[in-house]
Amino acid sequence: MILTTTENVSGKNYEILGMVKGSTVQTVNAIRDIGAGLKTLVGGELTKYNEMMNNARALASKRMIQEAEELDADAIVSIRYSSASIMQGAAEVMAYGTAVKFID
């Protein structure tokens, strides 16, 4: 599966199959959330939150790809990601794009 944030795949013509998406809501455990709260007092990178967001993006991407595979797509173009805070320590990540099938 070819994934791209651009509208075109170089050298390929395609038909549009439709929008595909994947999402997840992830959280860190309460003890790590407390530790992150303390980290804000001294500053620095919140590595557990970075890890959580990386895992969430990977899972959302996987779900988007699965949806495209169900449409027999060859690629997903114009991929975008969005995130939103659901509650303290929890975030939703959504991946979406346009599934396409290559034509001659």
Query: Yes or no: is domain 2-103 CATH 3.40.50.720?
Result: no
Mean pLDDT by 10 residues, the chain (104 residues): 95 97 84 53 72 92 98 98 85 96 92
* Distinct helix (H) and strand (E) counts, the chain: 2, 4
The pTM is what?
Answer: 0.82
Using CA atoms, how far residue 28 sits from 2, 64, 79, 91, in Å, is: 31, 23, 26, 10
**Pairing verdict, β 75-87 and 13-27:** unpaired
What ranges do the domains of the chain cover? 2-103
